[in-house]
Amino acid sequence: MAGRNHLFIPGPTNTPHEVLSAMHVPMEDHRSPIFPKLLKPVLEDLKKIFRTETGQAFIFPATGTAGWEVAITNTLNPGDKVLIYRFGQFSHLWMNMAERLGLDVEMHEVEWGKGIPLDDLETRLKVDSSHEIKAILATHNETSTGVTSDIGGVRKAMDAASHPALLFVDGVSSIASIEFLMDDWGVDSAISGSQKGFMLPAGLAILAFSQKALKLTETATFPRCFLDLKDQMAQNALGYTPYTAATPMIHGLKKSLELLLEEGMENIYTRHARLAEGVRRAIAAWGLDLCAQPGFESDTVSAIVVPEDKDAKDVISTAFNKYNISLGAGLTEVAGKVFRIGHIGDMNDVSLLGAIAGVEMAMLDNGFDITPGSGVAAAIEYYRSTAK
């Protein structure tokens, strides 16, 4: 098929040509005297993306899933109680990891399509007068349902309850894309990955820890080796890593950070919000609904509910095989019920109009009762009226 595949999944996302070019480097000595000139500025610039002045950033040659494990094993102890709300596939997986690692997991089920219920959280924390809960595992952006939770609100609930628990945030599909304020929100561990807002291939777990959390690395008793933050801290201080570095990825990350900081974080948040709203206008014009309920809509991914007599997998298959467009599938409890449009990373108005047009064609081919061009027209009018 002529032309390229158009990637509109919530990750991996499109990698800009500048980043791809930056990664095209000869292999180099990661123990050379000049390697710190690459690594140290990257670690400092990452703090600007996490929006922290007091925290410390880390890079592991791994994934966001490994980042979850880094946060847990470096700060907690087996048997510690943690609190998590389950409202999608990725909050479910984080819960499952915590259980498998031997934590005492208190899980609260939330309807898929909603996020963390702040009033419920505050009430639960106030009841925990003995402070048995050692950490809250909060999924900021649940990609399986297109739901964003209010992490600033989570911190307010914790403060209202005067609760000292650590706040861990899965920001894999939010950080570098939608507002994330590590210091202002009192986040103790922020977890991301290279393949979403950082616009890189998968392969790096990108994290930041508060000083409060880093002090706990001295008392945490979970067995750890490759994922030990103490090894990272010792070597990063010298400008090195405790094992072979993924040098091409770090070069790509350096360029990605340059692009992000050149655009400016507030501008990035605004761009993602605007692009997402155009997609939502198209969905409304089709007469379809989001999986996310009002107030929880994500600015990085929209999960679209298909009519009961339709199968979302058919839309995804037609879009890929006939129109060379990749859409996100529904996962587990929403499999076949939703398809997802990712609008994260290296995207603009025309990118999303292509996605909307491709989705329209795939839905029409599968007998959806929509007016051809309706979604495209709605998005065009919104993008035109808000373009600068």
The pTM of this model reads: 0.97
Distance CA 324, CA 152 (A): 39
Taking 80 as the threshold, does the pLDDT of residue 1 lie above it? no
Question: What is the DSSP pairing of strand 205-209 with strand 189-193?
Answer: antiparallel
**Span 320-356, pLDDT tens digits:** 999 999 999 999 999 999 999 999 999 999 999 999 9
pLDDT of residue 231 exceeding 90, the answer is yes
For residue 4, the model assigns a pLDDT of 87
Q: What is the pLDDT of residues 47-59, one digit of tens each?
A: 999 999 999 999 9
How big is the CA angle at 68 (ends 217 and 269), to the nearest 5 degrees?
110
Region 267-282: what's the mean pLDDT? 98
Counting every residue written for the chain, the total comes to 388
159 and 167 Cβ atoms separated by less than 8 Å: no
Residue 191 near residue 170, CB atoms below 8 Å: yes
Mean pLDDT of the 153-174 span: 98
> How far apart are the C-alpha atoms of 39 and 185, rounded to whole Å?
27
* C-alpha triplet 175, 54, 118: angle, nearest 5°: 55
Residue 118 CB coordination number (10 Å): 16
Instruction: Identify the CA nearest to 280 among candidates 249, 302, 251, 307.
Output: 302
Exposed (0-12), middle (13-18) or buried (19+): which is 130, by Cβ within 10 Å? exposed
Domains for the chain: give ranges and CATH numbers.
6-12+265-386 (3.90.1150.10), 17-263 (3.40.640.10)
Mean pLDDT, residues 211-218 taken together: 98
CA–CA separation, 220 and 188 (whole Å) = 15
For residue 3, pLDDT over 90 is answered with no
Q: How confident is the model at residue 121 (pLDDT cuts 50, 70, 90)?
A: very high
